[in-house]
Every structure is written in C-alpha cells, then in structure tokens.
Amino acid sequence: MMNLENYLKENGHTKQFIDLMKIVVKQVPQIKAEFQRGDEKTGVYNIYGEEQAKMDQRANEIWIEALSKSKLVKEIATEEEKDIIRLNYEKGYGVTIDPLDGSSLLPTNLAVGSIFSIYENGEIMSGLQQISAAFYILFGPLTLMVFADKKEVSQFIFNERKKQFDLVKRNLTIPEGKLYAPGGLRKDWLENHKKAIEYLEKEGFKLRYSGSFVADFHQILIYGGIFTYPALLNEPNGKLRLLFEVGPMAFIAEKAKGEAIDGKNRILDIIPAKVDQRIPIYIGSKKVIEEIKSILAQ
C-alpha cells in the first residue's frame, strides 16, 4: 500500500513540499492525544468572539510551533490568531490553518477536523487562485486525510502502527448525490435561500448536518449533494472564514469536479480583503450548485 510520502513523490512534488507534509503528519498523534483532555474551556475568546476550548488552543499551538520550526514556511495564518505570522525567511510556503474545526462537538464525541491550504508563492493574501494544495484531516472513527493538489483529490487513512497516512482512494470526484447540509437558523435565512432549500427538499434531498464543516463536507464529497452556510439576516457575510475554511474546501471541491460559490461568484476567484473575512458558501455537486445558483439569482 502506498503511503502519503511515496504518493507525493509519484505526483511530482518537491522535496521541500514533501518535508512540509511529513511535519504535518508527525503532529497527528500529538493532536489525537490532546483529545484525552476533554472539552474544557479556556476563558479566552478568539478574534471572532468565540470562547476557545483548550483543545482549540492546543491544536493551534501544536501546528504553529511545528511549522515555525520547519524553516520551510514564510507565512502562517490560523483561525485563532489575529494577524498573519510572518517568519524571517525570504522564501517558503504560505500556510493557512483551521486548527480544530467543529470543536463545539467535542462534548458529544462527534467528528472534528483540521483544514489546511498551501500557497507555493508564500503569500497568503495573494488570492485563492494561488492555492497550490489543500487538505483536511478528519478525526473520526478513523483518522483520515483528504488531499488535493493541482492533479487530483485522494484519501488516506492514518496507520496507527506506522504513524503514516496510507492511500486508500485516489482521483475522487463528487457524485451527483442528494444530501444537503444547511447551516444557520431557518428564521435568519434570506428569502432566496429559503427558496433554494425548498427546492432541495422538494427534490428529496436528505438532511445531514453536524456542525463540523470537515465532517459535513466529507459526506458531500463521498455521497454527493450540497453544503451551504448562507448569508443571514443578522450575518450578511455568512459565518465561515474565507481563508481558513471556505478557500481550502473550494479548492478541494473543484479538483473533485464539484463547484463552490458565494451565491453568485466562484469562490476561488476571490482575493481576500482581510485575514478574518467571512463569506457565504454553497459547495458540492456541480449540477445542484448550478441549479441553486439560478434560484438565488431570481
């Protein structure tokens, strides 16, 4: 069975990129071990006004420390930090991280994950078209990674004995399935979004929403359908963060022959205006996204 390192070599990635991914993989056992600490809160609030769980804080510290020491990274931005961390290197990758997506689910032992995007040019704010690779790690019954580069999307399972990710599926594409994962409260939905959801329900789409973007998107990747966190009456820019959640997932979705839009425009055409920018998202199977786009335009 091919492991992640050999897969990256086969796909033509540089030694520097492979070394970067090896550093990420090396942190996985430590992240998993931190789950034993439970869901205790810190009393500290991040830049979005959300109280951090200790697990949020530890995951953030682990990823930042490992990447900062690597000498391979020029810029790091994470959901838990106010500003971009700029390291004293003229060259290196830009890395965005959602250290622990779905941490509100820790008390219920549901799946959570970490989301990454890599900018080969080292410039995180240079625009989402500059993403050269993106991946997420899903901590569930199995620990898996879905990795996308400019060639394809592949899935790996973490081998606990060898402490490595082993390839189990490659060239993943999002099928035209009928799952839907709608975020936000119905009372806060805008009228055109309500019509879009009514269309999905009329067409027999089945509701699957947990509150972990990684877990919910992974269902869409495997079974097909749509995930959405829309603009809301009280949150006109939506809830999800462009750099840390929406951008990486949009890259993965497009490489898997799916689509990702903000309701009107292609997500990957966006150049972020600020680090903490939020944006609505509709992401999933290409045909259903196109149908939803036409409904939203009415």
Q: Which of 113, 147, 169 is the last residue of a domain?
A: 169
The mean pLDDT value for 161-173 works out to 98
The mean pLDDT value for 220-241 works out to 97
Structure tokens at 290: 């196109």
Query: What DSSP designation does 145 have?
Result: E
Share of residues in the chain with pLDDT > 90 (%): 88
- Alpha-carbon span 50 to 38, nearest angstrom: 18
Together in a domain, 165 and 238? no
Condensed to tens digits (0 to 9), the pLDDT of residues 40-83 reads 665 666 655 666 678 889 999 999 999 999 999 999 999 999 99
Together in a domain, 234 and 275? yes
The position carrying tokens 């997500």 is 267
Together in a domain, 183 and 59? no
* Residue 214's pLDDT band (cuts 50, 70, 90): very high
- Alpha-carbon span 17 to 43, nearest angstrom: 37
Together in a domain, 33 and 150? yes
Together in a domain, 148 and 58? yes
174 in a domain, yes or no?
A: no
The CATH number of residue 192's host domain is: 3.40.190.80
Together in a domain, 200 and 132? no
Together in a domain, 127 and 270? no
Report the chain's mean pLDDT, rounded to a whole number.
Answer: 94
Condensed to tens digits (0 to 9), the pLDDT of residues 118-159 reads 999 999 999 999 999 999 999 999 999 999 999 999 999 999
Under DSSP, is residue 284 helix (H, G, I), strand (E, B) or coil? strand
Q: Which of 108, 135, 169 is the last residue of a domain?
A: 169
The mean pLDDT value for 85-104 works out to 94
Identify the pLDDT of residue 289: 98
Together in a domain, 206 and 283? yes
Identify the pLDDT of residue 84: 97
284 in a domain, yes or no?
A: yes
Number of domains in the chain: 2
Condensed to tens digits (0 to 9), the pLDDT of residues 232-288 reads 999 999 999 999 999 999 999 999 999 999 999 999 999 999 999 999 999 999 999
94 in a domain, yes or no?
A: yes
Taking the chain, what is the end-to-end CA distance rounded to the nearest angstrom?
A: 50
The mean pLDDT value for 192-220 works out to 97
* Residue range(s) defining the domain that contains residue 40: 4-169
32 in a domain, yes or no?
A: yes
Cα 287 to Cα 166, 225, 282, distances in angstroms: 32, 9, 12
The CATH number of residue 66's host domain is: 3.30.540.10
Q: What counts of helices (H) and strands (E) characterise the chain?
A: 7, 15
The DSSP bridge pattern shows strands 153-159 and 179-182 to be unpaired
Q: Which of 127, 147, 169 is the last residue of a domain?
A: 169
Together in a domain, 37 and 162? yes
Together in a domain, 148 and 185? no
Computed from CA positions of residues 76, 231, 183, 202, in that sequence, does the dihedral angle turn out positive or negative? Answer: negative
Give yes or no for residue 103 having a pLDDT over 90. no
Give yes or no for residue 296 having a pLDDT over 70. yes
